[in-house]
Amino acid sequence: MKSKIQNKKILHIHVPMSKSVHTLNGKIYDRNNDSDINITGQNINIAKLYLLKQDIHTEDKIFSFATMDDFDLELIKRIRIVASNRRTDTHPWEGLSDFELLKSSGLYKVDKTTNKEGFTLGAILLFGKDETITNALPHHKTDLILRKVNLDRYDDREIVTTNLIDSYYKMMEFVKKHLNDPFYLEGDMRISLRDKIFREAVANSLIHREYSSAYVAKMIIEKNKVVFENANIPHSYGELNPSNFTPYPKNPNIAKIFREIGFADELGSGVKNLYKYSKAYGGSDPLIVEGEVFRIEVQTQQETTQKTTQKSTKEEIIELLRVDGKMTREDLSKQIGVSANAIKQHLANLQVEEKLQRVGGRKEGYWKVLDNAK
């Protein structure tokens, strides 16, 4: 491609990425933006480079030890029903056994180079029992954090270590618990902006994660934004938007299961939907950055409403303790619908505000509501 800048000709030549790893004078270099980094002798980085250049996905790693006993058969039954209910015709899964369903979905394979046969990491992550997942991938977890008041630590936290299906549900429940859903019409129909946006961000975090990395995936809800981070093998570097984004399937079999049960749409739709709805939700476009760590930031503008929610929670605590001062944090958590950690923080704040007083010890004591409490 030729172009002119200040009357000078510039020749731009596009060199496509090779499918092989090349050496120069016995050294291996990795291209990172405008830099060439010498990774000779760095076995982990060299392995990542081979993964990137070859059409191999971490989800396809075979675990010969795994049998059908290592899978949650009730979970497979559940997703079979969900997938069938989304179709007007008969879903192909309906006539298959559990093993045939997994095999037809690319989750049971034979490695032609080693003749190794068995269930894949993708199968275990999607449908494995918790102990099976731990055995196959000990570092697997997603850290869910609410950090709006206690900025040094957190106001609420949940560590998710279960299968990817239930991980999706738990992440969406955490979002619904801590983020509001403003009124929004698309045409003449009300839609949930919160669900539209975070369905895409949560699914992306689970589908496109590089599971060989021990980097802890995170979803952090802050005062005015939500941040997602997960390990990644990048195919480009820098900020992504609909005009420069080229979708690349990083765990295609996991993605296929998510599409079948309605957790995700076609490849590439996530970035488009995030840009389509984020401005209406938080006032600005999302920030999507691809690198060794894939990062999504969604603005929320929820601070004012969140303060109202916290005040309402305090009022509920006071009302409940007026009736029964012996209620525990766990009792209050169940009654109000917020975590025990959040209740603990509210109780501490109410004591500082001199609205509550603890009388007696932890086991035999009770909460006294003071006269200035409203």
Work out the average pLDDT over 126-152.
95
pLDDT beyond 90 at 118 = yes
Residues 6+ away with beta carbon under 8 Å from 221 = 145, 146, 147, 148, 174, 175, 178, 179, 300
Long-range Cβ pairs for the range 258-262 (8 Å, 24+) = 258/168, 258/203, 258/206, 258/207, 260/79, 260/83, 260/86, 260/93, 261/79, 261/82, 261/83, 261/86, 261/165, 262/82, 262/86
Kindly report the average pLDDT of the chain as a whole number.
86
Domain positions in the chain: 17-55, 59-136, 142-301, 304-369
The pLDDT of residue 308 is 44
- Residue 47 DSSP class: H
pLDDT beyond 70 at 20 = no
The pLDDT of residue 353 is 85
- Within the chain, what is the greatest distance between any pair of CA atoms? 85
pLDDT single digits (tens) 299-314 = 997 544 444 444 568 8
Work out the average pLDDT over 341-361.
86
Work out the average pLDDT over 329-352.
83
To which H or E segment does residue 272 belong?
helix 269-282
The pLDDT of residue 44 is 72
pLDDT single digits (tens) 200-254 = 999 999 999 999 999 999 999 999 999 999 999 887 788 988 888 777 778 999 9
Q: How confident is the model at residue 50 (pLDDT cuts 50, 70, 90)?
A: low
Please identify which residue in the block is written with the tokens 């570097």: 237
The pLDDT of residue 323 is 85
Q: How confident is the model at residue 174 (pLDDT cuts 50, 70, 90)?
A: very high
The pLDDT of residue 268 is 66
C-alpha distances (whole Å) from 326 to each of 281, 323, 335, 348 are 41, 9, 14, 16
Count of helix runs (H) and strand runs (E) in the chain: 12, 19
pLDDT beyond 50 at 1 = no
Virtual torsion, Cα 331, 337, 341, 345, nearest 10 deg: -90
CATH number belonging to the domain at 304-369, selected among 1.10.10.10, 3.40.50.150, 3.40.50.300, 1.10.3720.10: 1.10.10.10
pLDDT beyond 60 at 275 = yes
Domain 142-301, architecture per CATH: 2-Layer Sandwich (3.30)
Phi, psi at residue 134, to the nearest 5°? -65, -40
Decide if 259 contacts 87 (C-beta within 8 A).
Answer: no
Work out the average pLDDT over 126-132.
97
Work out the average pLDDT over 96-109.
96
The CA angle 142-148-149, to the nearest 5 degrees, is 125
pLDDT single digits (tens) 29-42 = 776 656 677 878 77
To which H or E segment does residue 332 belong?
helix 329-336
Amino acid letter for position 232 = N
Burial 153-164, CB ≥16 within 10 A → b, else e: ebbbbbebebbb
Q: How confident is the model at residue 102 (pLDDT cuts 50, 70, 90)?
A: very high
The pLDDT of residue 30 is 72
The pLDDT of residue 26 is 75
Q: Is the pTM of this model over 0.85?
A: no
The pLDDT of residue 54 is 57
Work out the average pLDDT over 6-19.
65
Joined together, the tokens standing for residue 39 give 């990774």
Decide if 293 contacts 232 (C-beta within 8 A).
Answer: yes
CA distance 263 to 88: 18
pLDDT beyond 90 at 127 = yes
